[in-house]
Amino acid sequence: MLRGKSILHVHQNEGKFYSKSTIAGYYNDLTEKVLLNQEHYNEIVPFPEKVENGSFYFPVAIFQYGLGAYDLYLSHQDEDLMKNKVITFGKWAIEHQEENGLWDAFSYLYPGFPYGAMAQGEGASFLLRVYQITKEDIYLDSAKKALDAMLNHSALIQKDSSNPKKFLLLEFMDKPVVYNGWIFALFGLYDGYLAFGEEKYLDAFRQSSSYLADKLREMDCGYWSMYSESGAIASPFYHRLHIALLNVMADLTEDVAFKEKADQFAKYQKSRWNRVRSFVKKAWQKIWEK
């Protein structure tokens, strides 16, 4: 379910409605998570993710579905339905946020390591958009709690040993950094600055973005993008996602390094040899995972 075989892994390009100056649409296009899931299209309540031995409510999937519904609301597609989805999913997010501001995203899969920076960032981004519809302060307060919890949790942040002001954000508490998860967490910090105007969120965004820019060479194996610092190569889905996310990072930071790397990854993708080579490498890694 978490490795590319579900509705979680639909095509995602740069967001169509996002803004650099105000809370608007989301930074990448999550609308297919709603549009392609016909089983739940006319429902407004969150639904569990199905796994081999049962099902569970996965906060990241719920936040992403809600963000996709919000963009569809902005596009006026089934506007009332999408508005109701956003509000109902927002209520779920509030009800399932722990008092410390964190969401238990992973204990079902990884007992003892329940939290993640991606869940915190995307949860905050989603709640700030729920606020745009409801104007209820509880969503602002909960988004702020989520971001502060992320920045204050030592297991979600890893500092650069040579420059402690620079840090990466961990999607999983017990694993090496996952690049897309790091970027989704950064989007949450950027939204925090837009929503609250507090320099601490902008400073954190800039410091962590700068560290990501430093690590772009490690994200590039020479013919494809890497999924994480563990040495895992990206699947075709994640490679395409990396291109979109880096293009948005280039726009938000105005750092050409992100655009240059996005363009390089796009060139890799056009090469049939690179696609075959990356597929074989990914398949080999999957075999060894077992």
Q: In CATH, what number is assigned to the domain containing residue 155? A: 1.50.10.20
Query: Which residues of the chain fall short of a pLDDT of 70?
Result: 1-9, 290
Q: Domain boundary at 191, 215, 239, which?
A: 215
Q: Looking at the structure, do residues 112 and 63 belong to the same domain, yes or no? A: yes
Q: Looking at the structure, do residues 122 and 261 belong to the same domain, yes or no? A: no
Q: Quick one: pLDDT at residue 4? A: 40
Q: Quick one: pLDDT at residue 267? A: 98
Taking the alpha carbons at both ends of the chain, their separation in whole angstroms is 16
Q: Domain boundary at 215, 238, 273, which?
A: 215
Q: Quick one: pLDDT at residue 18? A: 98
Q: Looking at the structure, do residues 171 and 98 belong to the same domain, yes or no? A: yes
Q: Looking at the structure, do residues 195 and 222 belong to the same domain, yes or no? A: no
Q: Quick one: pLDDT at residue 51? A: 74
Q: Domain boundary at 181, 199, 215, which?
A: 215
Q: In total, how many domains does the chain have?
A: 2
Q: Quick one: pLDDT at residue 109? A: 87
Q: Quick one: pLDDT at residue 6? A: 54
Q: Which amino acid belongs to residue 249?
A: M
Q: Looking at the structure, do residues 187 and 233 belong to the same domain, yes or no? A: no
Q: Looking at the structure, do residues 135 and 277 belong to the same domain, yes or no? A: no
Q: Looking at the structure, do residues 91 and 67 belong to the same domain, yes or no? A: yes
Q: Looking at the structure, do residues 196 and 232 belong to the same domain, yes or no? A: no
Q: Looking at the structure, do residues 58 and 71 belong to the same domain, yes or no? A: yes
Q: Looking at the structure, do residues 185 and 278 belong to the same domain, yes or no? A: no
Q: Looking at the structure, do residues 221 and 210 belong to the same domain, yes or no? A: no
pTM: 0.95
Domain with 234, as residue range(s), is 217-290
Q: Which amino acid belongs to residue 207?
A: Q
Q: Looking at the structure, do residues 153 and 229 belong to the same domain, yes or no? A: no
